[in-house]
Structure formats: C-alpha cells, structure tokens
Structure 1
Amino acid sequence: MASDWNRDLYIKACRFAAQAHLGQLIPSSDLPYLLHLNLVSMEIIAALGVEAGHDGDLAVQCALLHDTIEDTDTSYDTIATIFGTRVAEGVAALSKNPELDKSQQLLDSLHRIERQPREIWMVKLADRITNLQPPPIHWDVAKIRRYREEAIEIHTHLQSASPFLASRLAQKIEQYPPKT
C-alpha cells in the first residue's frame, strides 16, 4: 500500500510557502516561485503513491517549505512553532549554510540531510529532479557540467531513500547536458 498524506497539512504548508515566497520568481524566469515548490511536492506525492512506509505528511510539508529558511526571512523557530520540530529540522537540513564557502555547501547539506529521516532525503532528490530543466541560456558549459555533477553527487548520497525518485533523478541526469 502506498504512503498516505494529509491534504489539510498540504494546504497549510502551501499557503504558508506562498506567503513566504510572495513576489519571488523562479530564477531566470517570470514564473512565481510557488510553481517550483509545487513541482517538488508533486514529485514527492508521485513517490508516495507507489512506495509504502514513508511519513507522507513530513515529506509533503518539507517539500513545500524546503526553501523558506534559505530564501526568505522565515526562521527555524517560526517553522517549528507552526509545523513542528521534525519539519523545521528537515527544512534546516535542506538549507545551505551561508557561512560556508559555496564549494562546501552541498556536501555539508547532504551530510545534514543524511542524519534526517528518509523523507527529507526524498525532498532533496525531488528538488534536484525539478531543477534539472534546460539550463538558463546564460550558463556556460562549465556551470552546466558542475550542476550535473552535483546532481550525480545527490543521487549517490541519497538514492536509497526512494527507488522511484532515484530512478527519476538518474533519468533526468542522463538527459541533462553535457554528458562529456
């Protein structure tokens, strides 16, 4: 049986994320940032539909809130008060540490994610699946290659969380340029 999730908690998290990210756009686009968050949650919901044993509420809420600490003025304490400590811990693990050099941020985040429940791992997989769209036209080949290599690193670290999402990410990596 697939993993279930509470629709009311989804709506609560979606409304909160919409307000927190109000006016924010997906980088290099004119699309509202809420679209990205909904695409990440859609990947999570698809995985929950075919995989049993996941805490669907934790996964869905963290999918919708995963960028609130990193990209808005929302604090850990606010997330913990409204959504609980488990969700706040997950969102914090998914957030880059701005005090670290950019070259260290991904590995640091992956190590913090690996200390979280598997549902948080799933959110990171779903986030990168969603982000592996055609790269912005202003990215050079080196930047595209680094982004693809980061995706491979995410897959390597977190693939055991969800066979469904791991397969989706592997497919997206294979399709993402450049392969050489």
Structure 2
Amino acid sequence: MMTISPKELSKEQLLSLIIKCADFAAKKHKTQKRMNREGTPYINHPLGVAKILTEEGDVHDPVVIISAILHDTVEDTETTFEEIEQEFGAEVKLVVSEVTDDKTLPKMERKQLQIDHSPHISHEAKLVKLADKIYNLRDLQAEVPIGWTAERAHEYFKWAEQVINGCRGTNARLEAILDEIFASERMEYEKILTSS
C-alpha cells in the first residue's frame, strides 16, 4: 500500500511510479477504443490529458499527472477507488474520485452534476478536468464521433463550457486554450447554420 505522497518521492521513485501508472491504465483500458473512425486505443486519451497538463499547462504536480492518467479507470473499467488508493495513494484516489462520474445515474443527471460540482472540486481535480475537456473538444473538432450529429457535437461544446466555467481561475494557459476552442466552435457552428 502506498502511504506517502508522490510529492515526497525521489526523482527515480517518481519516474517508476509514473511508468507503473501508465502500465496500470493501459492494462485497464486494453480492450477499449475511442469513438473515432480509426478506433484509436483508449489509452491515448489519458496519456494525452497528462501531456496537455505538462506541455501546455506547465503543470508538474505528480498527484495531478498520475490522476490524469488514471482519471477514467474507475468510471470506465472494473477498477475501484480502493485499488487506486492501494497502488497510488490517498491523494490520487481523492482527485480521481472528484472527476469520476457515477455511471449508475442517468446520463443527463451525470452531465448536470459535472456542472454543479466543478466549482467545488479541488485545484488538482480542476486541472485534470481542464485538460480532459481540451483533449475531448479537440477530438470533436477534428472528427464528429460515429453516430453523432453536428447538433449533438454543438451541445457537447455548450455543456463543456458550462463545466469549465466552474473551473475558472485554475490555470490561465489551459483556460485560454479552451476559450479559443469555444470561440472557434461557435464560428464553425454559425457557418453550418447559415449554409443550411
């Protein structure tokens, strides 16, 4: 059981923990694919969220990075919060729990709860949420998922902006990226409406 904070580890120990985390997430998500035409391996998403945090958000808090890699494991696999705590510690478990939807609830209720809860989650969870939305919205800009209409994609952008509004004041760099994405999507959607 991990009893010390990732922040207290040596560089070597932290590197080992991050590799362990990536391996853990890859095994948990091994059969899952993204909803694009290529069926991209799902693990690309949590690793991409961690990359956005480090490269674009200048975030290097190991609790945040590890939580980003693990952020969908409980929600989308058979992983438990207890397992996360056992392997990666209580701080990581807390952040993962703050960004995990309760899949026993109806979809619309889960979406509303994300809007309601985003102002009240920890700074670390808000960072994961910001980077997660950047990744998902970029995917959506590149390609509407199989089975989605342009209207459904637009509704996702509107909902994501409401969630992000609750995370404002967390990381100016990530928020600026999101503002550009939202502005670009509004312009594209206006073009679709005027051309139809």
Q: TM-score, normalised by structure 1?
A: 0.85
> What root-mean-square deviation, in Å, do the aligned CA atoms of Structure 1 and Structure 2 show?
2.1
* Matched-pair identity in %: 26
Distance in 1 of aligned mates of 2:184 and 2:122: 29
| Unaligned ranges ≥5, structure 2 | 1-10
Distance in 2 of aligned mates of 1:101 and 1:152: 21
1:136 corresponds, among 141, 145, 166, to 145
SS of the counterpart of 2:87? Answer: helix
| Unaligned ranges ≥5, structure 1 | none
Q: Any idea what the Cα deviations from partners look like across 1:120-162, whole Å, max 9, x if unmatched?
A: 1011110110011232253113211211111211221112111
Q: How far does residue 48 in structure 1 lie from its aligned partner after superposition? A: 5.1
2:170 corresponds, among 145, 151, 161, to 161
Q: TM-score, normalised by structure 2?
A: 0.79
Distance in 1 of aligned mates of 2:68 and 2:168: 17
2:181 corresponds, among 167, 172, 180, to 172
Q: How far does residue 58 in structure 1 lie from its aligned partner after superposition? A: 1.1
1:97 corresponds, among 92, 98, 102, to 102
Q: Any idea what the Cα deviations from partners look like across 1:88-147, whole Å, max 9, x if unmatched?
A: 121122111123221121232354454432121011110110011232253113211211
- Residues 40-55 of structure 1 aligned to structure 2 (within 5 Å): 40-47=49-56, 49=58
Distance in 2 of aligned mates of 1:98 and 1:14: 23
Q: In the superposition, relative to structure 1, how do residues 145 and 64 fare at CA in structure 2: closer, same or farther (>3 Å)?
A: same
Say if 2:42 is the partner of 1:33: yes
Q: Which moved more, 1:75-84 or 1:40-49?
A: 40-49
Q: Which structure has the greater CA radius of gyration? A: 2
Q: In the superposition, relative to structure 1, how do residues 9 and 113 fare at CA in structure 2: closer, same or farther (>3 Å)?
A: farther
Aligned residue pairs, count: 172
